[in-house]
Chains A and B, each alone.
Chain A
Amino acid sequence: MFYFLPREALKNWLSEISKVHEVFVPVSPSGFGPYEGKLYLEKKTKLSAKEFFLPWREVILKFEARPGALPSPVFFEPVKERIIFGVRPCDAKGLTLIEKVFGEDPFFQKRREKTILLGLLCKEPGRECFGWAMGVNPFAGEGLDALFLEQAEGYLVKLLSPKGEKLFKDQEAFEKVGEEAQNSFKKAEKEFLEKHPKAPALEKLKEADLLKLYEADFWEGLALPCLNCGICTFLCPTCYCFDVQDEVVGLEGERVRLPEACMFELYSRHASGHNPRRSPVARFRNRFMHKFKYFLDEYGEPLCVGCGRCNEECPAGINLWEVIRAMSTL
């Protein structure tokens, strides 16, 4: 089903639903925040909406910090249902990829359940975007509850899930639209897909021999500039690795789950000091092998939605496409 929202009605509507729900929107080029009148919709934000599902600090246990204390489990429990508006389709697709692994994780699931995701299509692909090449069709809105397409007069809204339908059932600001509007959506989708085909590289990667890829000699050269920092993993809407830490202050203790980067030396270091991926090259290789081989082999899709954040933000100038090209032309 499709609705239409006039452009000038958007902010009003966001304020309206803020009364009933917790509403988050992109507030600046850096990322999302609670809606308080500020809205940044020009480009995709540096930090994706991933942080709402795999947060920077997920408390999983609370305990009294003395030997023998019994832990009490903690579950994320929002007071109101959350709405996140302005999520880019690629980021939402990223969540569906994470869900393949985290399908039974109660923390992730609870957060998904309690959140309505409203997507917004980009006006133009950004310079570093390549989502389509990774097989992402932004118009399909995978992982979203509704998708907004910006048009001359306002937003055309496509409903994508029962959660979305329920939300829009009684929103006065929106008017139902007919077939004509639907066709304009389909037309935009068709034009986009014709211009932006899926990359043949993925099929080649599926066929590639895992060990040959691993042993290829291009890794050394590609990894030389890499700093092994965590920028690409923390900004990535699909990277899901986490660390678990016990934090204690005085007698209060919490066990928390937090994002971690596979680029860090500590990531794979055993307590004994042995580290199977001690060298920076090994860690670099593991990141891309995971995304474009291990995950691809297991789930049929790469662990990448082509949002381009890593390319845009990598201070060392590493370009994901060059890695994919090297891997797929081996």
Chain B
Amino acid sequence: MLTEKIREIAKKLLEEGKIEAFLCYEGTSHPFRNRAVLVKSPEEVKKLLWPSFGVINLATPLQKLKGQKAGILATGCVSRAIVVLIQEGQLKREDLFVVGVPCPGMLDPSKVRDKAPEIIDVIDDLKDEVLIVTPEDKIKFSREELLRNNCQECRHPVPPLYDLLLDFSGREKSPDPYRRVQEIEDLTLEERWQWFEREVLRRCFRCYACRQACPLCYCPTCFVDDSRPQWVGKTRDLIDTALYHLVRAYHLAGRCVDCGSCEAACPMDIPLRLLTKKLEKEALLAFSFEAGLDPEAPLLFTSFDENDPEDFMLTSELKASGKI
């Protein structure tokens, strides 16, 4: 159904010459992995499909296609990443033909992986149920359970920017997008550092998959790779690793669209999204700001309000207590 719709529209766009190529996903020999693919002729569209495991944001490979008029399949987070990239002058709106789809959410390979020792196929009805096919059996699971964390916590399943929106009923907006962030916030300071050290710092071996998968990490030279000054040491030293993850997350403040590519790319299952999700929450609460909704709007850090909060500052604290 969704796959057919995608193929149909891609074929039409290519035949009509509206686009030179269409960026979407294809299947792989791995039962729960999809891969980005670029098709350039109507004959090739049969490769395309709706990716139940399209965990890497298509806006990441999209940036390799500069200068081509390309069509792209865009869920909410892909579309929002495109918006930010347009805001930041990385993409030209006129180079793109965005085929939006109200997103039903995608499945998490690491959640599926643990359901059976050997999995041959995964059948997703894009609504309620997922069938995991093993050599002996077909096991039924609720789709909600197997959804990626970021899809469970998605605030914008419907793309804010598109040229054409596929007729499909996707997921509702999440009622509780910050549940997991809240769980960490509820810990004590000490527990939070232990969590950070255990779940993030000790696991990370600095493959930079999180950075590479991120559609918004496009700096020609990442601060990690600077040598003069060298902000971050290159080894697995915990503090250097902390510096990397903190500054990376911070660089995404007000930009991150919560596509979860970083977390999905991580080979060590580090809950990277929590860092950026925390920043998303703060930006929403303090500045009513959400990234990637309007290409014309200013970015979080290129704007300010005279009444922005400043009670976090030492001088405010001293003033409140009458010390200055």
Chain A directly contacts chain B within the complex, with at least one CB pair under 8 Å: yes
Please name all residues of chain A whose beta carbon is closer than 8 Å to the beta carbon of B78 when the two chains form the complex.
Answer: none
Chain B residue, CB-CB nearest to A43: B117
In the assembled complex, B118 has its CB within 8 A of some CB on chain A: yes
CA distance A50 to B223 in the complex (A): 29
Stretch binding the partner chain, chosen from A86-94, A112-120, A309-317:
A309-317
Contact: A229 with B209, CB < 8 Å? yes
CA distance A247 to B235 in the complex (A): 9
In the assembled complex, B166 has its CB within 8 A of some CB on chain A: no
Stretch binding the partner chain, chosen from A162-170, A171-179, A257-265:
A257-265
CA distance A231 to B213 in the complex (A): 12
Please name all residues of chain B whose beta carbon is closer than 8 Å to the beta carbon of A127 when the two chains form the complex.
Answer: 30, 118
The B258-303 residues at the A interface (CB cut-off 8 A) are: 261, 264-268
In the assembled complex, A319 has its CB within 8 A of some CB on chain B: yes
The bracket for how many chain B residues form the interface is: 35 or more
Please name all residues of chain B whose beta carbon is closer than 8 Å to the beta carbon of A245 when the two chains form the complex.
Answer: 233-235
- A225-B61, A229-B207, A231-B207 given as contacts; is B267 within 8 A of A317 (CB)? no
In the assembled complex, A30 has its CB within 8 A of some CB on chain B: yes
- A224-B61, A256-B235 given as contacts; is B209 within 8 A of A230 (CB)? yes
Cβ of A255 to closest chain B Cβ, rounded Å: 11
Contact: B236 with A56, CB < 8 Å? yes
CA distance A233 to B58 in the complex (A): 23
Contact: B207 with A258, CB < 8 Å? no
Instruction: Name, among A47, A235, A247, A280, the residue most crowded by chain B CB atoms within 10 Å (CB to CB).
Output: A247
Contact: A317 with B209, CB < 8 Å? no
Chain B residue, CB-CB nearest to A315: B265
Digitize A222-242: 1 where CB-to-B-CB distance is under 8 Å, 0 elsewhere: 001101111101110000000
Contact: B234 with A265, CB < 8 Å? no
Contact: A317 with B30, CB < 8 Å? yes
Stretch binding the partner chain, chosen from B35-43, B82-90, B145-153, B249-257:
B35-43
Please name all residues of chain A whose beta carbon is closer than 8 Å to the beta carbon of B64 when the two chains form the complex.
Answer: 224, 280
Contact: B209 with A315, CB < 8 Å? yes
Contact: A229 with B208, CB < 8 Å? yes
CA distance A318 to B37 in the complex (A): 11
Please name all residues of chain A whose beta carbon is closer than 8 Å to the beta carbon of B55 when the two chains form the complex.
Answer: 315
Contact: A315 with B213, CB < 8 Å? yes
CA distance A247 to B225 in the complex (A): 15
Digitize B58-88: 1 where CB-to-A-CB distance is under 8 Å, 0 elsewhere: 0011001000000000000000000000000
Digitize B188-220: 1 where CB-to-A-CB distance is under 8 Å, 0 elsewhere: 000000000000000101111101110000000
Closest 7 CB pairs of A and B: A317-B35, A229-B209, A230-B207, A315-B265, A227-B212, A229-B212, A225-B36
Give the interface of B toward A (CB within 8 A).
28-30, 33-38, 55-56, 60-61, 64, 118, 203, 205-209, 211-213, 221, 225, 233-237, 261, 264-268
28 contacts between A and B (CB under 8 A): A30-B203, A56-B235, A56-B236, A57-B235, A57-B236, A224-B38, A224-B64, A227-B56, A227-B209, A227-B213, A229-B207, A229-B213, A230-B208, A231-B209, A231-B265, A245-B234, A247-B235, A258-B234, A280-B64, A315-B209, A316-B35, A316-B56, A317-B28, A317-B33, A317-B34, A317-B35, A318-B35, A319-B29
Give the interface of A toward B (CB within 8 A).
30, 46-47, 56-57, 127-128, 221, 224-225, 227-231, 233-235, 243, 245, 247, 256, 258, 261, 264-266, 280, 311-319, 321
